Every structure is written in structure tokens, then in C-alpha cells.
């Protein structure tokens, strides 16, 4: 059962909990300097109130509905707890943040805290360039490694040179868990006389039925290129071994894109596009336009992430449901693409890293998880305990819980190399448009993978 409270009480609880945090220095803890290297002469301080009047510049991509609401509440609570701190928040869309952040981190006026995409092209590159500080001293001071399981922390962990993903130092903390699943319109399924699919075969049969009835089977807005990754990933999960996908997703050696299993997955996506299952012009439709059209009653299914749940719940109410991609065989453990939301990291350009780290600790605390749940987000920690009693958010919490505890959460494929996001994005558009065959699409990915890992012949 979800623990409910008013916004005022929730924020007071968060503030009170933060006030119990250490308010001293941790002697001997190393803090990175402006060049990203450890400075043995600097001590970590958790006494934010003693830092004087400061402004923290925060860049995030929490722009939608409940995402924005939870940040607003937590920022207000942090400033209430620390009147000496003013938060200057810059909130941008995922795509805009990815574009502007690279330039901002190289300038003289870098933000203090940023949300950085976990993958090698973003966080890995920023770590390599010395633009983010290692949070290891703060992890020790605040007990983050007791709060977060290793399975979560690995997605914001890199070696000091940024070359190794999943091992080394912690460079950020996520607030939310993410899982890609299938949203569905209950009324559309009822009109079509289709039961909720329990296997992959039943799901594809439902797509065919929807298309024959003149409905849009799956709304896909792939103008930005990355959304197709969230459709291909679950398809791949029904065909390819979890270990193989994980190795490919993290950019580790020893795997291959050009396998019969991956070919079958790519062929499935191409066939869906050819059959009209993805709408009339998926590559020409914007992501937000696609899910908004689904919310307004167009289409039967939407393959997308859990982050859309709050917005769809507001627009569709009891008509919308959410399920894990159906397994190949009934009763098989659920498998889907997912992980964590973008971690919050501290930049090497920050002149108040202690306050910045305290902010990261505050917005990822146990009390903050309650605010995340109450605003329709999926807390990355203790997820099942926050599940509401009904509605699509209940579905989302249960799917994330079952996938992480019983099944497999596959990494986002663009994590793999610094250029894999662009490679897969462009080639998936080509596959969907019928301009590339499944084999040609996979060879594009394989070439990128081999060039990065050095595993080619």
C-alpha cells in the first residue's frame, strides 16, 4: 500500500531527515579538483548550512508532469532546510539537454549539478574529459552504497579514464527506475474483441487485428531517432539471450550483432513497419506527438517507457494499462529494456561541490522516494513498497518490480559506445523506412561495436 501524505508534510519529512545527516567534515576524504583528479588536501563537508550564501545551478530534464512536480517539491524543501542556498534550476527536454550540456561543461560557467545520460557518449565522455567529479568520498560520507544496490550503481560507475563502464567510481545517482513496456487502451481492446496478450504470438496477433480494423496498432514517433530503440530492444529480448544483449549494451567484448537471433529481431521490426503496425509515418512523427495522440484515443498500443505513466494516467485515467512485453512462452520471466533514469552528477566546474553533493543526497533520500511515488514517478529504491492501489501507476510499479526481481532488465543499447546512439538511431530509421535490410542494419551496429571494442578481425 502506498504511504500517502500532504505535500507540506512530505517536504517537512524530507527536510527533517536531511537535517539528521552528518554536519561535519570527513577527514582524509579525497575530493576531485577542477581537473577531475583527487585532491588529498581537501576534506568533504556535509555541513551545508555552514557554507554561507551560495547559489546551486541545477540542470535537469524532468520537464513532464509529475517529473517536474517532484523536482519542484524537492527543490523547495532543500531551500527551506538550507535558507543560505538558492537553487537556480534550468530544466530542458532530454534532447535539448543532451545538446547543450556538452558545451556548458566546457565553459567557464558550468552548472553545479547535471543530469547526464549514463552511456559512454555522455557520462563516459564527461568522465574521460575530467568534467565530472568522482562521488566516492560522498558515497562514503552519506552511505550511498548501503542505500543503493550494486546492480543500480553500476549504471553510473566508470573507471577514472571513462574507458570501463560498470566498474570503478560512482559519478552519479539516479532517482527513478525505468522499464520499457507496452501501454494499451482497454476500450480499444474491448472494441476489437482482443484479450490482453499473454505471449508474444498473441501480441503480434493483436497487432494484426488492430491493423485490419483500421486502427493504429502501435503509435511510434521516431523523428528524434532514439524512440525506435525502445521498440527494437523488447523485440530483441524475445529473440536474443540476456547475456548477449547485456554485453552489447555495455560495449563489452565477446558479443556480436550479426547473429541469427538479432537478425530475427531486426526482421520483426522491419516487418511491423512494412505491415503498417507502427503508423503511417513513424520516422516523421515526433515522440511527444505520438504519445499525445495515443492519450487522445488514437491507436491500441504504445511501446514506451515508464516515465510516460503519469502523463497518460492524467489524460486517459482508467482506460490505460501497462504490461511488460509478453514473453515468447507463457510463464517465462519478463525481459525488457530499462534501467535507471538519468543520474544526477556533480561537475568539476562547480565551486561548491559539497553543497552539490548534499543536494544529490537530498533528492535521492528514502523520504524523497515517497515524493517521487506520490507524483507518479517510479522510485528506483524500494519500488514495490510505493505501489498505488490501482491504475496504470500500479501496473508500472509491479512491472518494474517483477522485471528486476524475477526477470531481466536489459541495458539501453545506446550505452554501448560513444557513437552507438547515432549509429542505431539512423540505421533504425533506415530499417523502418525499408531503406536498409535487417542484415545491413545489424552490420552498421557491428561495425560501430567492433571499432570501439577492437574486437574485429
Q: What is the DSSP string of 59-80?
A: EE---SHHHHHHHHHHHHHHHH
The cell numbers describing 405, all together, are 526481481
CA distance 418 to 430: 20
Distance of CA 91 to the CA centre of its chain: 16
Contact 172, 344 (CB under 8 A): yes
Domains of the chain, each with CATH number or no CATH = 7-176+341-381 (3.40.190.10), 178-339+394-453 (3.40.190.10)
CA distance 282 to 220: 5
The cell numbers describing 186, all together, are 482497454
- Ordered DSSP codes for 280-328: S-GGGS-HHHHHHHHHTT--SEEEEEGGGHHHHHHHHGGGEEEEPPPPS
**Cα angle, residue 247 at apex, residues 241 and 251 outer, rounded to 5°:** 150
CA distance 17 to 24: 16
**Cα angle, residue 360 at apex, residues 357 and 364 outer, rounded to 5°:** 145
CA distance 296 to 65: 16
Q: What is the pTM of this model?
A: 0.75
> Of the candidates 355, 357, 367, which has an alpha carbon nearest to the alpha carbon of residue 85?
355
CA distance 34 to 351: 8
The secondary element (H helix, E strand) that includes residue 182 is strand 177-185
- Ordered DSSP codes for 18-52: HHTS--SEETT--EE-TTSSEETT--EE--GGGG-
Would you give per-residue pLDDT tens digits along the chain (457 residues)?
A: 333 333 444 455 455 555 544 444 543 333 444 444 445 445 899 999 999 999 999 999 998 888 899 999 999 999 999 999 999 999 998 888 888 898 899 878 899 999 999 888 899 999 999 999 999 999 999 999 999 888 788 889 999 998 888 889 999 999 999 999 999 999 999 999 999 999 999 999 999 999 999 999 999 999 999 999 999 999 999 999 999 998 899 888 889 999 999 999 999 999 999 999 999 999 999 999 999 999 999 999 999 999 899 899 999 999 999 999 999 999 899 999 998 989 999 999 999 999 999 999 999 999 999 999 998 888 998 887 888 899 999 999 999 888 887 888 899 999 899 899 999 999 999 999 999 999 999 999 999 999 998 854 3
> In sequence order, what are the residues at sequence separation of 6 or more whose Cβ sits closer than 8 angstroms to the Cβ of residue 162?
120, 124, 125, 126, 127, 128, 129
CA distance 402 to 228: 24
User: Sign of the C-alpha dihedral, residues 265, 266, 267, 272?
Assistant: positive
Amino acid at each position: 500500500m502506498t504511504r500517502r501524505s500532504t505535500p507540506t508534510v512530505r517536504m517537512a519529512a524530507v527536510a527533517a531527515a536531511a537535517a539528521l545527516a552528518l554536519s561535519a567534515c570527513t577527514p582524509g576524504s579525497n575530493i576531485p579538483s577542477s581537473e577531475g583528479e583527487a585532491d588529498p588536501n581537501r576534506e568533504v563537508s556535509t555541513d551545508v548550512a555552514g557554507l554561507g550564501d551560495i547559489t546551486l545551478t541545477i540542470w535537469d530534464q524532468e520537464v513532464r508532469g509529475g517529473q517536474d512536480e517532484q523536482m519542484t517539491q524537492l527543490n523547495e524543501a532543500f531551500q527551506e532546510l538550507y535558507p543560505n542556498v538558492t537553487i537556480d534550476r534550468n530544466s530542458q527536454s532530454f534532447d535539448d539537454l543532451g545538446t547543450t550540456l556538452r558545451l556548458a561543461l566546457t565553459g567557464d560557467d558550468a552548472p553545479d549539478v547535471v543530469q547526464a545520460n549514463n552511456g559512454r557518449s555522455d557520462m563516459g565522455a564527461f568522465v574521460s574529459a575530467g568534467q565530472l567529479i568522482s562521488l566516492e568520498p560522498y558515497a562514503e560520507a552519506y552511505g550511498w552504497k548501503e542505500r543503493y544496490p550494486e546492480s543500480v550503481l553500476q549504471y553510473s560507475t566508470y573507471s577514472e579514464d571513462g574507458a570501463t563502464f560498470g566498474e570503478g567510481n560512482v559519478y552519479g545517482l539516479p532517482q527513478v527506475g525505468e522499464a520499457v513496456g507496452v501501454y494499451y487502451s482497454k476500450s480499444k481492446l474491448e472494441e476489437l474483441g482482443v484479450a490482453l496478450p499473454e505471449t508474444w504470438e498473441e501480441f503480434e496477433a493483436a497487432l494484426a487485428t488492430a491493423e485490419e480494423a483500421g486502427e493504429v496498432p502501435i503509435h511510434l514517433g521516431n523523428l528524434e531517432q532514439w524512440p525506435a530503440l525502445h521498440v527494437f530492444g523488447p523485440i530483441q529480448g524475445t529473440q536474443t539471450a540476456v547475456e548477449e544483449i547485456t554485453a552489447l549494451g555495455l560495449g563489452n567484448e565477446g558479443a556480436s550483432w550479426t547473429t541469427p537471433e538479432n537478425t530475427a529481431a531486426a526482421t520483426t521490426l522491419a516487418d511491423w513497419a512494412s505491415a503498417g503496425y507502427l503508423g503511417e509515418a513513424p520516422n516523421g512523427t515526433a515522440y511527444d506527438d505520438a504519445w499525445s495522440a495515443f492519450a487522445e484515443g488514437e491507436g491500441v498500443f504504445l511501446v514506451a517507457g515508464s516515465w510516460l505513466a503519469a502523463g497518460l494516467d492524467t489524460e486517459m485515467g482508467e482506460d490505460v494499462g501497462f504490461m511488460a512485453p509478453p514473453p515468447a512462452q507463457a510463464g517465462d520471466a519478463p525481459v525488457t529494456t530499462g534501467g535507471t533514469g538519468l543520474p544526477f552528477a556533480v561537475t568539476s566546474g562547480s565551486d561548491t561541490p559539497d553543497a552539490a553533493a548534499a543536494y544529490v543526497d537530498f533528492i535521492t533520500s528514502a523520504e524523497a522516494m515517497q515524493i517521487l511515488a506520490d507524483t507518479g514517478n517510479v522510485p528506483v529504491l524500494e519500488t514495490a513498497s510505493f505501489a498505488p492501489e490501482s491504475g496504470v501507476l500500479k501496473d508500472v510499479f509491479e512491472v518494474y518490480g517483477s522485471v528486476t526481481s524475477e526477470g531481466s532488465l536489459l541495458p539501453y543499447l545506446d550505452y554501448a559506445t560513444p557513437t552507438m546512439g547515432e549509429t542505431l538511431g539512423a540505421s533504425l530509421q533506415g530499417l523502418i523506412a525499408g531503406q536498409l535490410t535487417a542484415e545491413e542494419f545489424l552490420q552498421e551496429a557491428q561495425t560501430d561495436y567492433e571499432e570501439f571494442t577492437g574486437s574485429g578481425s
